[in-house]
Structure 1
């Protein structure tokens, strides 16, 4: 499995190195124009619970517009829904998600609850901006199980913040390589309203998407609403950790300070969720999942010159049949454009 983890790193880092921004040393302007995003999601933000989807971290890199490796352009042509006729932009990401049952203080988890699981992954994607429409195609590869280092991450963080030690990681999902192919379409600023108050705008951006793989298989539809200034400079809101309402890894720089409020809803028809269904090829803990899950979110994004900082509060409906109540967690995203 260590060889598999090494392969993940090589795929992601190799994708970056194959980007014309890096591969053509003579024309590379360093990090100029690159956007870096760090997103962290945790149930301690706006919630008193430590359970279920308990933590996620995602670090993403987006090179300047048009700096896309040829092999990525060529691969995207095989996907019929994706249009390569827009302004193209690549993205690369590394991340880790952690999942636990409701009671982490017991050694033998309740078999009616969701299992312990970690998900360590790398992804690369291609975005086509056609102005009024944005297509996103993303491939994610990773590993579930002890090799994901979920146990070590949670125990280290809990020790650092003096939280209870999670006792049941010996019963986590077993090692399994994972792959997810995700396609997403946003109808950008489908509705817009100029309030006449010194440039204050309101817009709505509906989306639809499909994910296929042994980790997640689901179809999703939803809408994001925003209110603020210079909305056109932000391509759809701060990025989130999948599954979620979509955001954007890139944006245009602001002149001074700007902000906007946002709210959104989305529903997913779930065919597979390994973190509830359990391992694909061997026996493991599992939970009786629900086939329809909805998210509602509200938040605020602040921009200042090259920086973007956003906070999102999310409510997710019950994901499995024995779940007592919906989950609530928060997300913080910090972005910087070189």
Structure 2
């Protein structure tokens, strides 16, 4: 029996060596005479999707206005309320994401969202009752939107469907002039010549890639560059765009940049509050090739025929700062937009403020 036991131990030892268990340290002792259990294996592709799911949704309020530039013309006001779900949406939307995996990317976390927004456009001269036919016409767009967001550590994909109305039913005159009365400013006089009511629909796809490098490990400071491409199809806005955002700050992985109202170099409506605190400075540029711009295309205007030639190529340059503390993120952007039509007097300039709550 002793001989058999000794032989059995030798066979077991040889088997361990042959299978690499000895070399892997699986039988290494911790100095107390006991053998610790082997570590849980980590999948080779473990990354963002292996991270804990975010159980919180995000509510955001965005306001864009040219008052920040001291003007009152062209793109003069934008307001949007939006909500994005947690990163564990209903199974029905998971099935939609699987069906759209070619566009959204595989092995990503999914969120879905709802938005309600309005944008307002006026000519440079708002004191004249009959607008200059060579100036930008009065117009507004009131819309609701549903979005599907897919993201990993290095990529963000968004599909957004916007449905709404362009014209008097978009309430551009009521919003602008009532606000002007409150702040004791002059009314815009030419709203009788705005675009007529017409349904509006846009389908937008946006993809961003993020490359990040750490600058100072001890301070958790880093830089990242986020190139992006955007395609919008619809009777309100059809264009193809490309751009990039540069950021410097702390905990950059918490989001993909500052949110904006489209068309714009938009970041992410959500952010990850698990890091507790973060901040960054940013600057970005986007160029768009425009095929349809309902607010400039000379049709469907009552009483007069605007003589406007829109520019095919339009660019945005923006810069600003973002800070998030716990459940709250505050972002400010200043935007310079190149001329959008022939004869436009100067570029459009406006500011954008976004306040988000992660809950």
Specify the TM-score bucket, using the shorter chain as the normaliser.
0.7 to 0.9
SS of residue matched to 1:335: strand
With over 3 angstroms needed to count, the CA separation of the structure-2 counterparts of 1:208 and 1:159, relative to structure 1, is: same
Answer yes or no: is 1:64 the counterpart of 2:75: no
Counterpart in 1 of 2:234? 213
Instruction: Tell me how many residue pairs correspond in the alignment.
Output: 304
1:224 maps to which residue? 245
Q: Residue by residue, what CA displacement relative to the aligned partner does 1:232-287 show, whole Å, maximum 9, x if unpaired?
A: 112x1121000000211111115554211011001000011101114469986462
Aligned counterpart for 1:309 among listed residues 300, 310, 330: 330
Matches within 5 A, 1:194-205: 194-196=215-217, 198-205=219-226
Secondary structure of the structure 2 residue equivalent to 1:141: strand
Alignment correspondent of 1:244: 264
**DSSP 3-state at the match of 1:81:** helix
**Using the alignment, how far apart are the partners of 1:105 and 1:151 within structure 2?**
14
Rounded Cα–Cα distance in structure 2 between residues aligned with 1:160 and 1:97: 19
Q: Give the drift of 1:288.
A: 1.1
Q: Are 2:57 and 1:34 aligned?
A: yes
- In the other structure, the counterpart of 2:297 is 277
Cα offset for 1:211?
Answer: 0.3
What per-residue deviation string (whole Å, max 9, x for no partner) do you get for residues 116-157 of structure 1?
A: 001000000111113221111110000000010111000111
Structure 1: which 5+ runs fail to align?
1-31
SS of the aligned residue for 1:74 comes to helix
Cα distance change of structure 1 residues 200 and 243 upon mapping to structure 2, 3 Å threshold = same
Secondary structure, counterpart of 2:136 in structure 1:
coil
Could you say if the C-alpha distance between residues 70 and 268 of structure 1 is closer, same or farther in structure 2, counting changes exceeding 3 Å?
Answer: same
Q: Distance in 1 between matches of 2:98 and 2:308?
A: 35
Matched, 1:288 2:283: no
Match in the other structure for 2:67: 44
Aligned-residue RMSD, C-alpha: 2.0
Once the two structures are overlaid, the 10-residue window that deviates more, 161-170 or 72-81, is: 72-81
Q: Deviations over 1:90-131 (max 9, x none)?
A: 111000000000010110000000100010000001111132
Q: TM-score, normalised by structure 2?
A: 0.80
Does residue 1:155 correspond to 2:182, yes or no? Answer: no
**The residue matched to 2:357 in structure 1 has which SS?**
strand
Choose from 296, 311, 318 the match for 2:339.
318
Q: 2:14 is matched with which residue?
A: none
Alignment map for 1:68-217 (pairs within 5 Å): 68=90, 70=92, 73-74=95-96, 77=99, 80-83=102-105, 85-188=107-210, 190-196=211-217, 198-217=219-238
Is the alpha carbon distance of 1:141 and 1:284 closer, same or farther for their aligned partners in structure 2, counting shifts above 3 Å? farther
Q: Which structure 2 residue ranges, 5 or more long, are not aligned?
A: 1-54
TM-score, length basis structure 1: 0.85
Task: Tell whether 2:359 aligns with 1:333.
Answer: no
CA distances 1:189-228 after superposition (whole Å, capped 9, x unpaired): x242423461111110100010000000000000011111
The 2-side partners of 1:44 and 1:326 are apart by: 14
3-state SS in 1 of match to 2:220? coil
Secondary structure (helix, strand or coil) at the match of 2:177 reads helix
In terms of Rg, which structure is larger?
Answer: 2
Residue by residue, what CA displacement relative to the aligned partner does 1:272-322 show, whole Å, maximum 9, x if unpaired? 110111446998646210000000000010111100001100000000011
